[in-house]
Amino acid sequence: MKVQERYNEYVQKMHKIADVKYALAVLQWDQETYLPPKGADFRAQQMATLSEIAHTLFAEDHLGKLLEDLTVTDGLDPDQRRNAEHTLEDYRKNKKYSPQFVRELSECTSRSYFAWIEARKKNDFSVFKKSLQDLINLKRKESDILDYDQHPYDAHLNEYEKGASVEWLDAMFKELEPPLRQILADVSGKPQPEDHFLFQHFDKDAQWHLGLDLLKQVGFDFDAGRQDISEHPFTTNFSPLDVRVTTRIDENDFTSMAWSCLHEGGHAMYEQGLPVRQYGLPLGEYCSVAIHESQSRLWENCIGRSLPFLEHNMPLFKKYFPQLNSLTSHQLFAGVNRVKPSLIRTEADELTYHFHIMIRYRLEKKLIEGTLNAEEIPGFWNESYRSLLGVEIPDDKRGCLQDIHWSHGSFGYFPTYSLGSLYAAQFFAAMKKQHDQLEHQISNGDYLFVHQWLRDNVYQYGKTFTGSDLCNKITGEPLQLRYFTQYLTDKYKMIYGLSK
Amino acid sequence: MKVQERYNEYVQKMHKIADVKYALAVLQWDQETYLPPKGADFRAQQMATLSEIAHTLFAEDHLGKLLEDLTVTDGLDPDQRRNAEHTLEDYRKNKKYSPQFVRELSECTSRSYFAWIEARKKNDFSVFKKSLQDLINLKRKESDILDYDQHPYDAHLNEYEKGASVEWLDAMFKELEPPLRQILADVSGKPQPEDHFLFQHFDKDAQWHLGLDLLKQVGFDFDAGRQDISEHPFTTNFSPLDVRVTTRIDENDFTSMAWSCLHEGGHAMYEQGLPVRQYGLPLGEYCSVAIHESQSRLWENCIGRSLPFLEHNMPLFKKYFPQLNSLTSHQLFAGVNRVKPSLIRTEADELTYHFHIMIRYRLEKKLIEGTLNAEEIPGFWNESYRSLLGVEIPDDKRGCLQDIHWSHGSFGYFPTYSLGSLYAAQFFAAMKKQHDQLEHQISNGDYLFVHQWLRDNVYQYGKTFTGSDLCNKITGEPLQLRYFTQYLTDKYKMIYGLSK
């Protein structure tokens, strides 16, 4: 068979696997949005079956042979070769897991999730600790299965961000912490801006329509996607031509939904921008979790919490919410950017957010290297919050039980949130460097340049590069923390009147 | 292996197949309700993949051997045996089709569907006739593949209603036609009741909420299902604990949505009532298409268009639609039951509806036996409508292009609509015989007895019996047309003052 025929066979196979995985994603989406309560058990079973089918299809020996063969044969173009290489790597990784380990992990994760739910209900971490420790033990085994050079946590970090390591992240957080602490100290010494106007009653229906308007304004394509309501906002996709975002509405908080729409919209526009012709193939997938997060944070924060954006949207906000009529755009800008050390990660401001991540990163590192046990988490957690953010943790629910990630077995995910902010700041700086009228355009609601830049520099590449290599290629330098600290300093100078 | 272990193996296999089929149903439901337009192509591909996987799983030789074995071994209880026998029958039927024929039929059906869409757009049957004739030729081949005793059409009738035959249906329609013609002649000679009040402007939102109220009132379980909007109303299910109905809203027609909700609600409550423990197995499936239709027609017509039901619901209708304030329940009863020969099957009254079916039945019989070609359809159609209903067909769209069924290759489906009405009337008569206060209960919005009767006599049995045998078992006699003609006569006596 000619090499192109073999490549096509590989593509057909990947399409089939993608079809099953996306079908599974439709079932998950429906589960979070519309599923009637009694349907939950059969739905879980149906999803497990699809998941098993996808797994079986991807594990077929024939695919392995095809990939081994394709990756050593001449005649593929560079993109085709990259696809085959990426898939072979995934294939080999997949083969490392014994069916027994997969089952054990899946069962343990399921137990762990329900224990977390229960623990939250009882506001008592001790209900969670046993199954969490079991899960950590399996995750430690998984480090060995996946293999690593220096630190067992590296194996898990790599699952979300290829090339990430403890060495790299230790250095990064070590460099990031002092300037962030300095900024926090500076703004804490200043009078805090008003933000009570954000927490009035805001009509649900008006919020919903504002959310749709904002998504449309920033460029979400409603012919290739839609928005629905779910308990927790998320983005999912069933092809680049069908990307779904969800949101939730808090009638007493104006910011919660509006900026969540921008956040999910950023994720979603990335998915809508991925190359359609690469459906089901690595180059049709997003680059990395951190790069995905950079897209949501770019739209939510760099653009969405900027003065130009708010200036442009004051009439829209006031149209839906007459109670904001006397508000100035600068007041709103100060309100939505107010810095306030707090207990809950997802409600944190752009500065203190990263202290939440540092705490989780340090904790996970210790858990995976085995120098901390699950039962020691509350102590470590509470002490870290005291020393880093100066807040007292009143109970487990507002402490170490707040995030779902561990109950899902997602160790190594949290750092990508910080990386996302850092990449976003560096990308946004690169855009502004190339286009000195960018902020003026944004103040006119014109995002053409942003879209073109993202299309040319991020969307079109899919998984061609690692996040780190992509950053190097499109900004001319590796990840630099100063873009983020400068971004924060500039912003807080306007709000708090910092001297630097 | 012990027989119960082998039975369990069969059950596990059927669960897996059901999981995939229901996943496919979720994708179809989403396609009709929420899919953004650009997502259509990949969605079609994803559904084709799931369909292929389900087909492959069901065609595995191992399943065949297991079934051959189970059906000749002692040790199964009667229900288990029935399940295995039903599945073996399906398995063998499935095996009769060559992969080539399946592909040919699938491609031809797809072409045919798009030709029908195009023909409707151009209002020109000739655009459809070529691919329709191709499809008919394949369906004639399929008669041979499926095998039949007397008439090639029998093979297709059996696909929807086991045991149905040309012999049986010919006799049935021959017996049904004269009394229906007589009733039509009688009511046509009387003054027609007013119904203009049904065709005013009715607020969309109010209609939506009325529909939900009606579904709730008749007993649809919203914890095990939901209602959404689609272009054409339908019912689908992903387990008995997740049954979805859809509806559409016509702002200028009060009856369209309200009675469609009752119709789909009837289908849906049947699905919700099927035994959960038989998930994925024949005894967990509905009895037959005609029995399914009996459920929708029982709720839509026997109950929903009865005077007691309307009396009970006048306050509800008036709450949502103050424009109906001066209407009496008898006026509404006469309006929603008015007899009027018309062009469109789905808009027909309960009497003339069956002439629409007779025309299609006779036409299909000739097409499948090869005594009529596709190009002769319009002539046959228009002449039949003239002679049976006395209406002139103005164009193909309101004539032989109105129904989607043939474009899908569904020959043999139409008769089940008439059978549904006949079964519904016979079941309703049986209920009333057992409970002489039933109509009084209905006028109080109390459907407890109806539910209990349907649960005990229809829902619980799943596919245990054929439709015909079920009727015999639960009403004490085979299908008798006089229940339906008596039902109509009683109704029209109240409206038109018929003497008999």
Sign of CA dihedral B82, B85, B91, B96: negative
Contact between A246 and A32 (Cβ < 8 Å): yes
The pLDDT mean for chain B works out to 96
What is the structure's pLDDT at B103? 86
Is residue B155 pLDDT above 80, yes or no? yes
Task: Chain A: give the shortest CA distance to residue B37, in Å.
Answer: 6
Distance from the Cα of residue B478 to its chain's centroid: 20
Mean pLDDT of B130-135: 97
Domain range summary for chain A, segments of one domain joined by +:
3-140, 166-187+343-415, 196-341+416-496
How far apart are the C-alpha atoms of B104 and B111, rounded to whole Å?
11
Per-residue pLDDT tens over the stretch B252-293: 998 999 999 999 999 999 999 999 999 999 999 999 999 999
Q: Is B228 helix (H, G, I), strand (E, B) or coil?
A: strand
State whether residue B78 sits within 8 Å of chain A by CB: no
Encode pLDDT of B36-90 as tens digits. Answer: 999 999 999 999 999 999 999 999 999 999 999 999 999 999 999 999 999 999 9
How many Å apart are CA A381 and CA A398, to the nearest integer? 11
**Chain A neighbors of B23, CB-CB under 8 A:** 23-24, 26-27, 46, 49-50
> Which residues of B are less than 8 Å from A22 in CB distance?
42, 46
- The Cα A334–Cα A331 span in angstroms is 5
Tell me which of 3.30.56.10, 1.10.1370.30, 3.40.50.1370, 1.20.58.220 is the CATH number of domain A196-341+416-496.
Answer: 1.10.1370.30
DSSP 8-state assignment for residue B302: I
* A46 touches B: beta carbon within 8 Å: yes
**How far are the Cα atoms of B303, B316, B366, B375 from residue B371, in angstroms, in the given order?**
41, 53, 5, 12
Is there a contact between A19 and B221 if contact means CB atoms under 8 Å apart?
no
| Over residues A235-248, mean pLDDT | 98
Rounded mean pLDDT, B318-337: 97
pLDDT band at residue A499, thresholds of 50, 70 and 90? low
Nearest-Cα distance to chain B for A448, in Å, is 22
CA B397/CA B374 separation, integer angstroms: 16
Average pLDDT, chain A: 96
Q: What percent of chain B has pLDDT over 90?
A: 96
pLDDT of residue A99: 86
Could you tell me the CA-to-CA distances from A31 to A43, A230, A236, B117, B242 in Å, in that order?
8, 9, 12, 33, 11
Pairing of the two strands B242-247 and B225-229: parallel
Listed in sequence order, the DSSP H helices in B147-235 are 152-160, 166-188, 204-218
What is the predicted pLDDT for the residue at A8?
97
**What pLDDT, on the 0 to 100 scale, is given for residue B499?**
62
Which of B64, B21, B499, B55 shows the shortest CA–CA distance to B279?
A: B21
CA B354/CA B332 separation, integer angstroms = 23
Residue pLDDT, tens place only, B342-392? 999 999 999 999 999 999 999 999 999 999 999 999 999 999 999 999 999
Confidence at A1, pLDDT banded by 50, 70, 90: confident
B481 and chain A in contact, CB less than 8 A: no
pLDDT at A427: 98
DSSP letter for each residue of B25-49: HHHHHHHHHT--GGGHHHHHHHHHH
Q: Read off the pLDDT of each residue in A412-418 and give the average, rounded to a whole number.
A: 98
What is the least distance, in Å, from the CA of A10 to any CA of chain B? Answer: 16
Query: How far, CA to CA in Å, does B324 sit from each of B205, B207, B327?
Result: 16, 13, 5
Tally C-beta pairs within 8 A across A and B. 110
How many helical (H) and strand (E) elements, i.e. helices and strands, does chain B have?
20, 3
Q: How confident is the model at residue B329 (pLDDT cuts 50, 70, 90)?
A: very high
Average pLDDT over residues A388-403: 97
Amino acid B108: pLDDT:
93
Q: Do B30 and A35 touch (CB under 8 A)?
A: no
> What's the rounded Cα separation, in Å, for the pair B361 and B161?
14
Tell me the C-alpha to C-alpha distance, in Å, between residue A50 and each of A44, B24, B57, B251, B255.
10, 11, 13, 41, 41
- Has residue B178 got a pLDDT over 70? yes
Query: What are the distances in angstroms from CA A3 to CA A11, A63, A71, A83?
Result: 12, 14, 10, 14
Query: What is the value of pTM for the model shown?
Result: 0.95
Interchain proximity B46–A238, CB inside 8 Å: yes
Express each pLDDT in A456-482 by its tens digit: 999 999 999 999 999 999 999 999 999
ipTM, 2 dp: 0.94
Asked whether the predicted pLDDT for residue A500 surpasses 60, the reply is no
CB pair distance less than 8 Å for A23 and B24 = yes
Helix (H, G, I), strand (E, B) or coil at B243: strand
A20 at B interface, C-beta within 8 A: yes
Nearest-neighbour CA in chain A from B204: distance (Å): 17
Q: Please say if the pLDDT value at position A182 is more than 60.
A: yes
Angle A389-A391-A395 (CA atoms, 0-180°, nearest 5)? Answer: 130
DSSP-based three-state secondary structure for B246: strand
Instruction: Note whether A490 and A351 are within 8 A (CB).
Output: no
Task: Give Cα separations from A207 to A213, A246, A260, A313, A327 (angstroms).
Answer: 10, 13, 12, 14, 18
Query: What's the pLDDT tens digit per position in A375-385?
Result: 999 999 999 99
Catalytic pick among B68, B85, B194, B264: B264
User: pLDDT tens-digit profile of A143-168?
Assistant: 999 999 999 999 999 999 999 999 99
User: Does pLDDT of B498 surpass 80?
Assistant: no
Sequential DSSP letters for B446-492: --HHHHHHHHHHTGGGTTSS-HHHHHHHHHSSS--THHHHHHHHHHH
Contact (Cβ atoms closer than 8 angstroms) between residue B344 and residue B396: no
A53 touches chain B (CB under 8 A): yes
